[in-house]
Amino acid sequence: MKLWLRNLIFAGGGLAVAGLVADQLLQRKPFAAPKSHVASAFAGGDFEKSVRHVNVALADAWLSAGVIPVARADDLTIARRLSLALTGTIPSLEEVRALEAVPETDRVQWWLSHLFEDRRYGDYLAERIARMIVGVEGGPFIVYRRHRLVSWLSDELMANRPYDALIRKLIAAEGIWTTNPEANFVTVTIDQNNAKEGPDEKKLAGRVAKAFLGVRLDCVQCHDDFLGGDWKQKDFHQLASFFSGAEMGMTGLRDNDEKDYEYRFQGRREAEPVPMVVPFHTELLPSEGKSRQRLAAWVTHPDNRPFARTLVLIQA
């Protein structure tokens, strides 16, 4: 056999084998429809009642503001917007084709069910929430693991954990920051150069007020509001006092409610004990329990409207 013919046969065989291997490697599983989606659940009852309630509220707001709403966007545009908002990316061609195969009346809810089962949803929103509550800095390495906090947030979202339950865990967390990742919300405030002081009550008060209640209460940390508002310096430090018992021990983060919070207010000569008082809706604060648990219950109380409004603004 001539050399060139033998080489040609060898090359052809090699290409055939490579093609088979590539075909196996590039094969993808068929697109899986969302397991949690039940079309009948969105066809009436409480769901339709809630939709009508929201639509009426929006229509009234538009009318009072003199806003004329535009026509409804097409399904693919809505899907793209939802994907960007919940996963940070646009739909793939495969996803678009799968969505187009769904009846038009069911497409939006089907697509939402698909997104909520997508791990990208948990990871993307977890990072957004983490930036809101702890920022992007590394924090104290020994007692802080940002990646563990973000992974925990993602797991909680994928488990469909209610937002109020998630926030209560963050505020009242105890234990080691690696095995109890929610504790990182508190331990990130520890000063790396002076770890013996424990978590920083002032940082925690400012973050709770801003991230969960939508209030920049840290603006009155050093003095009363002199820009026409009603906030007082005591409002900030009375909130900070709820974190005075948070300390580090052999078992990690724990509460010691025998510790007092003291501060020297503007115009005073000496520091003085600061009681635990919430800045508004004092009637919603539980009278019993550990200090951080009481605060967590107050922040997430169903009647504490700033908490709900802040969540809506975050997702908007």
- Indicate the pLDDT class of residue 246, thresholds 50, 70 and 90: very high
Name the pairing type of β-strands 252-255 and 246-249.
antiparallel
Contact 95, 114 (CB under 8 A): yes
Phi-psi region for residue 43, left (φ > 0), alpha (ψ -120 to 50) or beta?
Answer: alpha
Residue at 24: amino acid letter: Q
Q: Would you state the pLDDT for residue 24?
A: 58
User: What integer best gives the mean pLDDT of the chain?
Assistant: 88
Contact 180, 173 (CB under 8 A): yes
Tally of CA atoms within 13 A in the half-sphere of 111 that contains its CB: 31
Contact 212, 299 (CB under 8 A): yes
Question: Which residues are bridge partners to 263 per DSSP?
Answer: 272
Neighbours of 107 (CB within 10 A): 18
Q: Would you state the pLDDT for residue 23?
A: 57
Q: Would you state the pLDDT for residue 228?
A: 66
- Indicate the pLDDT class of residue 37, thresholds 50, 70 and 90: confident
Q: Would you state the pLDDT for residue 1?
A: 55
Tokens found for residue 92: 């793939």
CA 169/CA 150 separation, integer angstroms: 14
Tokens found for residue 315: 């997702």
Please state the rounded mean pLDDT for residues 219-248.
88
- Indicate the pLDDT class of residue 6, thresholds 50, 70 and 90: low
Residue at 9: amino acid letter: I
Which residue in the block uniquely carries the two structure tokens 């009550």? 201
Q: Inform me whether the pLDDT recorded for 284 exceeds 90.
A: yes
- Indicate the pLDDT class of residue 257, thresholds 50, 70 and 90: confident
Tokens found for residue 122: 């948990």
- Indicate the pLDDT class of residue 191, thresholds 50, 70 and 90: confident
Which residue in the block uniquely carries the two structure tokens 């909520």? 116
Tokens found for residue 238: 């009375």
Please state the rounded mean pLDDT for residues 290-308.
96
Q: Would you state the pLDDT for residue 7?
A: 61
* Per-residue pLDDT tens digits for 152-189: 999 999 999 999 999 999 999 999 999 999 999 999 99
- Please give the residue that has the higher pLDDT: either 28 or 276: 276
Domain ranges (residues) in the chain: 39-116, 119-315
Q: Residues of the chain with pLDDT > 70: what percent? A: 89
What are the DSSP calls for 236-258, one per residue?
HHHHHGGGTTEEEETTEEEE-TT
- Please give the residue that has the higher pLDDT: either 28 or 261: 261
- Please give the residue that has the higher pLDDT: either 40 or 129: 129
Q: Would you state the pLDDT for residue 182?
A: 97
CA 175/CA 182 separation, integer angstroms: 9
Where does the chain have alpha helices with state H? 3-26, 45-65, 75-87, 93-100, 107-116, 119-133, 146-158, 163-172, 184-187, 201-207, 213, 233-240, 291-299, 305-315
Global pTM reads: 0.84
